């Protein structure tokens, strides 16, 4: 399989680079820049991409790859910091921009040299997304200028003989109008890719690898009923059959009627499905806890302890399987990336677990790729397109301490929102939508009297990969209906808010 290696230097768009490469039907992985030369050779990339990052390459403390990477004979594309790194490492000179005009941020009109392979077939002029305060003052020997803007004569450089390319802008973001075409040119014209990354091929290889890895062992799947774990259940069922046991932990943090719905969805399938009521122990562990990261770690550890208990009941169980996906891994901290929030199935895991190994066959897939895999496995569209629901459940949608009273209130408000979204036909258009019980109490007037009750926030977003997201422009009439119903039907709520913040700067969930 053709593979592109993305070396991570801490940029905010790194996961988006991976997504854009996968969209071109070329497999890629994001790895720390500290990856050794031997590991890179074993990975066997047909091309390497250096990401952006917040550092200045001329400082001794700035991150650098093994210098041997430049002698592998593999094409390299440097983006922003990666471009400056390429220049500085090969004899060029990068300095802080002395003139404020040379610092570029945001949409910038850029002129391209169409004779450069990276810009073949593109317009000679287009808009790119710049974000840099440093400047390539001298281009390395063997390189030539391939793009410029009014403020920056070195917006792109190339050495066609060694197949090294650098762009000062970000082709992976939508604001760069021809960014996808530039990446396509790098992958297909420069690296010689053929586009062999398909879900059918991923399914076949995954089934083969799981059979070889599991052997005659038994697998316990942490089944939540969400898209990721449901797809994984189908994949494991095809790979190991009766060696699989699916355990659904009802942690008391589910949406209204969700536990019964999950049980109904899986009870008719040829799976060893077991539902465990652990709501009491989860609520007890969360008593008095208000800090979001602590919540996630407690829930992650408690999940493992429940699964260990169930494994002992089953006898010898060798593997624990989880529906971890790539955004979980990235947000929990990958390479140079900051920890945004520890996902209960990644950063929330305890140090020791009573299983031989943890299986995570989906950990390199984005959400939309998981859905594609589900269709490849023959799952119904109603399950594949289901609204995402976080593993920690409503615990991270109740701001502050989690109590049974707060959970009951939130379940009702959330159910009303979901019901009205479905009635309006927006449940399949919004990528994710839900209610949040804030920690805010405010004065209101209800029944000619004063109230001092809670505020519920509504959240709805549009996204393709859940790495970035835009808030949904829901009709005012719908928001009005939801607000009126919640305030009238949910005792203890006197105010409804609508969140219009995108990701970034926010995340999809509140905690």
In a domain, 219, yes or no: yes
Of the given ranges (81-85, 123-127, 351-355, 453-457), which has the lowest mean pLDDT?
Answer: 351-355
Domain annotation covers residue 423 = yes
Q: Are strands 357-359 and 319-321 parallel, antiparallel or unpaired?
A: parallel
pTM: 0.67
Has residue 364 been placed in a domain?
yes
Q: Which of 170, 190, 210 is the last residue of a domain?
A: 190
β-pairing, 156-159 vs 144-149, is antiparallel
Band (504; pLDDT cuts 50, 70, 90): confident
What integer pLDDT is reported at residue 331 of this predicted model?
A: 63
Question: Which CATH number characterizes residue 239's domain?
Answer: 3.40.50.620
Instruction: Determine the Cα–Cα distance for residues 9 and 82; give it in Å rounded to an integer.
Output: 8
pLDDT at 177: 92
H or E segment and range at residue 311: helix 292-314
Does 150 lie in the same domain as 12? Answer: yes
Residue 150 domain flag: yes
d(CA 38, CA 3): 16
> What is the CATH classification number for the domain harbouring 476?
3.30.300.10
Is 165 a domain residue? yes
Residue 35, domain member (yes or no): yes
* Secondary structure (DSSP) of 244-299: EEEEEEE-S-PPTTHHHHHHHHHHTSSSEEEEEE-HHHHHHHTTT---HHHHHHHH
What pLDDT is attached to residue 215?
94
Domain limit, last residue, from 167, 190, 213: 190
Q: Check whether residue 182 and residue 213 sit in a common domain.
A: no
* Average pLDDT value for residue range 44-57: 94
Whether the predicted pLDDT of 350 surpasses 60: no
pLDDT recorded at residue 136: 85
Regarding whether 176 and 59 lie in a shared domain, the answer is yes
Q: Do residues 108 and 125 touch, judged by C-beta distance below 8 A?
A: no
Active site residue 369: no
pLDDT of residue 104: 60
**Neighbouring-strand partners of residue 454:** 441, 493
Active site residue 33: no
- Residue 178 among the catalytic residues: no
Q: In the structure, what pLDDT confidence band is assigned to residue 344 with cuts at 50, 70 and 90?
A: very low
- Average pLDDT of the segment spanning 378-394: 84
Q: How confident is the model at residue 326 (pLDDT cuts 50, 70, 90)?
A: confident
Q: Please report, rounded to a whole number, the percentage of residues in the chain having pLDDT higher than 90.
A: 61
Do 143 and 232 have their domain in common?
no
Q: What pLDDT band is residue 222 in, cutting at 50, 70 and 90?
A: confident
Verify that 94 and 229 share a domain, yes or no: no
Same domain, 374 and 356: yes
Looking at the fold, whether 298 and 409 belong to one and the same domain comes out as no
Residues 220, 280, single domain; the answer is: yes
Say yes or no: 222 and 267 in one domain: yes
pLDDT of amino acid 333? 57
Looking at 168, 190, 212, the residue that finishes a domain is: 190
What is the distance between the terminal CA atoms of the chain, rounded to a whole angstrom? 38
Instruction: Check 2, 172, 302, 412 and give the catalytic one.
Output: 172
Same domain, 243 and 376: yes
Q: 391 lies in a domain?
A: no
SS3 171: coil
**Tell me, what's the pLDDT at 413?**
98
- Residue 276: is it exposed, middle or buried by C-beta count within 10 angstroms (0-12/13-18/19+)? middle
| Candidate list 170, 184, 297, 344, residue with the active-site label | 170
* 215 shares a domain with 317: yes
pLDDT value, residue 158: 97
Whether 437 and 463 map to the same domain: the answer is: yes
pLDDT of res. 352: 55
Of 145, 159, 12, 140, residue with least CA distance to 77:
159
Q: What total number of domains does the chain contain? A: 3
Task: Kindly name the residue from 80, 152, 158, 246 that is annotated as catalytic.
Answer: 80
- In which domain, by residue range, is 326 found? 199-384
pLDDT, tens only, 53-74? 888 898 989 999 999 999 999 9
Taking CA atoms, 211 is separated from 18, 236, 239, 338, in Å, by 28, 9, 6, 35
As a whole number, the mean pLDDT across the chain is 88
Task: Provide the CATH number for the domain around residue 143.
Answer: 3.40.50.880
Residue 510 lies in a domain: no
d(CA 261, CA 288): 30
């Amino acid at each position: 399989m053709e593979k592109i290696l993305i070396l991570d230097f801490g940029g905010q768009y790194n996961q988006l680079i991976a997504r854009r490469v996968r969209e071109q039907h070329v497999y890629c992985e994001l790895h720390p820049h500290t990856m050794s030369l031997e590991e890179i050779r074993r990975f066997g990339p047909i091309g390497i991409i250096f990401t952006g990052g917040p550092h200045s390459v001329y400082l001794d403390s700035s991150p650098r790859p093994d210098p041997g990477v430049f002698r592998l004979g593999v094409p390299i594309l440097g983006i922003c910091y990666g471009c400056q790194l390429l220049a500085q490492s090969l004899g060029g000179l990068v300095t802080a921009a002395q003139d404020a005009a040379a610092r570029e941020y945001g949409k910038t009109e850029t002129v391209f040299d169409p004779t450069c392979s990276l810009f073949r077939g593109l317009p000679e002029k287009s808009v790119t997304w710049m974000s840099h305060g440093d400047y390539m003052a001298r281009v390395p020997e063997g390189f030539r200028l391939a793009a410029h803007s009014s403020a920056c004569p070195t917006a792109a450089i190339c050495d066609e003989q060694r197949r090294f390319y650098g762009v000062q802008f970000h082709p992976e973001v939508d604001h760069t109008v021809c960014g996808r075409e530039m990446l396509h040119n790098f992958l297909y014209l420069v690296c010689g890719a053929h586009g062999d990354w398909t879900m059918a091929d991923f399914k076949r290889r995954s089934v083969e690898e799981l059979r070889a890895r599991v052997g005659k062992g038994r697998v316990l799947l942490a089944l939540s009923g969400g898209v990721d774990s449901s797809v994984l259940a189908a994949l494991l069922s095809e790979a190991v059959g009766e060696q699989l046991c699916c355990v659904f932990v009802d942690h008391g943090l589910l949406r209204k009627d969700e536990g019964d719905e999950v049980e109904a969805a899986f009870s008719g399938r040829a799976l060893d499905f077991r539902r465990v009521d652990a709501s009491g122990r989860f609520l007890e562990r969360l008593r008095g806890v208000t800090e979001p990261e602590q919540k996630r770690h407690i829930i992650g550890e408690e999940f493992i302890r429940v699964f260990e208990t169930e494994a002992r009941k089953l006898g010898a169980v060798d593997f624990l399987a989880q529906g971890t996906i790539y955004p979980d891994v990235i947000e929990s901290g990958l390479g140079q990336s900051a920890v945004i929030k520890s996902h209960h199935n990644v950063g929330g895991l305890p140090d020791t677990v009573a299983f031989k190994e943890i299986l995570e066959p989906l950990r390199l897939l984005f959400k939309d790729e998981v859905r594609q895999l589900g269709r490849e496995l023959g799952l119904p569209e109603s399950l594949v397109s289901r609204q995402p629901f976080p593993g920690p459940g409503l615990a991270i949608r109740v701001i502050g301490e989690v109590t049974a009273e707060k959970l009951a209130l939130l379940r009702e408000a959330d159910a009303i929102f979901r019901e009205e979204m479905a009635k309006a036909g927006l449940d399949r258009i919004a990528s994710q939508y839900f209610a949040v019980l804030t920690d805010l109490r405010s004065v209101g007037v209800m029944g000619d009297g004063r109230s001092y009750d809670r505020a519920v926030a509504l959240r709805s977003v549009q996204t393709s990969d859940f790495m970035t997201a835009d808030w949904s422009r829901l009709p005012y009439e719908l928001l009005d209906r939801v607000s009126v119903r919640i305030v009238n039907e949910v005792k203890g709520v006197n105010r409804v808010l609508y969140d219009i913040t995108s990701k970034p700067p926010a995340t999809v969930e509140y905690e």
